[in-house]
Amino acid sequence: MKEKLEQIKAEALRQIEASDALEKLNDIRVAYLGKKGQLTSVLKSMKDVAPEDRPKVGQMVNDARALIEARLEETKAALAKRAREEQLKREVIDVTLPAKKANLGHSHPNMVALREVERIFVGMGYEVVEGPEVEYQDYNFTKLNIPPNHPARDEQDTFFINPEVCLRSQTSPVQARTMEQGKLPIRMIAPGRVFRSDEVDATHSPSFHQVEGLVIDKHITFADLKGTLAEFAREMFGEETKVKFRPHHFPFTEPSAEVDVSCFKCGGKGCRFCKGSGWIEILGCGMVHPHVLEMCGINPEEYTGFAFGVGLERIALLKYEIDDMRLLYENDIRFLKQF
């Protein structure tokens, strides 16, 4: 009996050692440990063993079984490992083959710039609002302190629809519309299309975009205007950006200023970009003219405010170094893809 067991064991171990596939191990398991397997049949033949020897033989059978099982498991693990290794080797791919992209579309550079402007001002508590593009001249001019026949009406090269209506030449009419609603305080920006009769060339377009800003509250000062726009400039053009306020004239603000930022290409040293001056003009601004406040139903003795207007294309052209404004309206996908 013992010899038989040893023989079975040795044979099983030999077969395990010789097997090179998981299925074969399974066959071996069935052949030796299965219901009809050789070890099992030894157990079945226990009735032929003398009762006193039975525990011993049983022990031997169990030991053999344990050994075979252990060896089976070991071999199985080793084979599985080898198989996995082979699989991994087989599955090597060329990682430099082209990517499968979702081919996302791209935002227009104007929009990229606008989103940035919006992000900055929304963060400072400004609401983003809109106004009509075809506008009453009353809003585009009169309520902005540009009465009929004022020379400034000519300066803006306005497109007219009829004696009352024009295409807005600036986003400033949204100031008047917002103030008229009478909800104070006001902190808003108003982005949008504006129109001026400039022939199309590398630096002009008859249709472009501005972002208007307006703050009305008690105790708003010119210093607040400076601080706000300095903050904007740093966020928009980088932490190191400096701003310079130059006196200027707009009919609807007083005092008024034009704002230059230190050139974000050369940091102010002077380069081709800033035409050697180290500064780039980016916007116009000022304290809302008391007459404008009055015309819009706000008491200038109680409230003050500031307003500013930024040309979106100007920022987009400067920031992304686009050298021809026409590119913005051609919509060549090779251009748009870069934003």
Binding to other proteins (CB under 8 A) within 135-194 occurs at 135-136, 149, 151-152, 154-155, 159-162, 165, 167, 185, 187, 193
Work out which of 2, 81, 246, 269 binds other proteins, going by CB under 8 A: 246
Work out which of 8, 220, 280, 295 binds other proteins, going by CB under 8 A: 220
Q: Tell me the Cα Rg of the chain.
A: 42
Taking the complex as a whole, the smallest distance from the CB of residue 228 to other proteins amounts, in Å, to 6
C-alpha–C-alpha distance, residues 73 and 236, integer Å = 65
Taking the complex as a whole, the smallest distance from the CB of residue 265 to other proteins amounts, in Å, to 20
Best CA proximity match to 286, nearest among 231, 183, 215, 217: 215
Tokens standing for 327?
A: 């590119």
C-alpha–C-alpha distance, residues 236 and 54, integer Å = 91
Work out which of 102, 239, 321, 323 binds other proteins, going by CB under 8 A: 102
C-alpha–C-alpha distance, residues 230 and 283, integer Å = 12
Site string for other proteins, 273-302 (x = CB under 8 A): --------------x-xxx-----------
* Identity of the residue, 61 or 214, whose beta carbon is nearer to other proteins in the bound complex: 214
* Identity of the residue, 37 or 192, whose beta carbon is nearer to other proteins in the bound complex: 192
* Identity of the residue, 49 or 112, whose beta carbon is nearer to other proteins in the bound complex: 112
Contacts of other proteins in 303-322 (CB under 8 A): 304
Best CA proximity match to 293, nearest among 285, 284, 303, 283: 303
Count of residues touching other proteins (by CB under 8 A): 85
Contacts of other proteins in 28-67 (CB under 8 A): none
Task: Give kind and range of the element (H or E) at residue 244.
Answer: strand 243-250
* Identity of the residue, 32 or 232, whose beta carbon is nearer to other proteins in the bound complex: 232
C-alpha–C-alpha distance, residues 177 and 82, integer Å = 77
Q: What are the backbone dihedrals phi and psi of residue 321, each rounded to the nearest 5 degrees, phi first?
A: 55, 45
C-alpha–C-alpha distance, residues 308 and 210, integer Å = 10
Contacts of 68 (CB under 8 A, 6+ apart): 9, 12, 13, 16, 32, 33, 39
Q: Report the half-sphere exposure of 93 (CA within 13 A, side-chain side).
A: 5
* Identity of the residue, 12 or 167, whose beta carbon is nearer to other proteins in the bound complex: 167
Using rule CB under 8 A, residue 110 touches other proteins: yes
Contacts of other proteins in 249-278 (CB under 8 A): 249, 251, 254-258
Using rule CB under 8 A, residue 128 touches other proteins: yes
Using rule CB under 8 A, residue 98 touches other proteins: no
C-alpha–C-alpha distance, residues 178 and 184, integer Å = 10
Taking the complex as a whole, the smallest distance from the CB of residue 274 to other proteins amounts, in Å, to 13
Work out which of 3, 93, 96, 105 binds other proteins, going by CB under 8 A: 105
